[in-house]
């Protein structure tokens, strides 16, 4: 089997600026409901990127436990690498 022939079609919907909510949190809620309805695996998984004190970026997966207009809530250990990164560089997270 050729890896190049592996391809999944994503043709359920298009994405246009006119289709999305002006409020990004509201739009996230719409997409999250769609992901739940589609029975997506780990629908509340998100990618969290941080930057260390030395400027080295890294990313990992965390699970969203709640979200509202203040942002996204997830749990972790303060002594983890991401915990140290956020302490040193709180505005480097995305
Ligand atoms: C599906 C999935 C969900 C995860 N959820 C969390 C989470 O909610 N919180 C967390 O600290 N780590 C979670 N992890 C583990 C992190 O991705 C990461 O490996 C770990 O927290 C150590 O990261 P760090 O050393 O960069 O701080 C999850 C991993 C996977 C694969």
Tens digits of pLDDT across the chain (94 residues): 899 888 887 776 788 899 899 999 999 999 999 999 999 999 999 999 999 999 999 999 999 999 999 999 999 999 999 999 999 999 866 6
Q: Which domain holds residue 50?
A: 44-94
Regarding the beta carbon of 75 and ligand 1, being less than 6 Å apart is answered: yes
Whole-model pTM above 0.85? yes
For ligand 1, atom 17, name the residue with the nearest CA. 61
The pair of three-digit structure tokens given for residue 77, joined into one six-digit string? 């250990």
**CA 80 to CA 20: how far, in whole Å?**
36
Q: Is residue 32 part of a domain?
A: no
| Ligand 1 pocket test target in 40, 44, 51, 62 with most atoms within 8 Å of CB | 62
50 lies in a domain?
yes
CA distances from 52 to 6, 18, 87, 89 (A): 37, 37, 9, 7
Split into its structural domains, the chain has a count of 1
Answer yes or no: is 27 within a domain.
Answer: no
- Ligand 1 binding pocket mutation candidate from 63, 67, 77, 84 (most atoms within 8 A of CB): 63
**C-beta separation of 62 from 53 below 8 A:** no
Q: Is 92 contained in some domain?
A: yes
């Amino acid at each position: 089997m050729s890896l190049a022939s592996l391809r999944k079609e994503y043709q359920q919907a298009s994405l246009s600026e006119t289709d999305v909510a002006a409020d990004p949190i509201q739009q996230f809620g719409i997409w999250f409901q769609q992901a739940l309805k589609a029975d997506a695996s780990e629908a509340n998984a998100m990618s969290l990127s941080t930057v260390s004190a030395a400027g080295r970026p890294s990313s990992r997966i965390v699970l969203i436990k709640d979200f509202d207009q203040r942002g996204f809530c997830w749990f972790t250990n303060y002594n983890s690498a991401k915990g140290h990164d956020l302490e040193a560089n709180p505005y480097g997270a995305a």
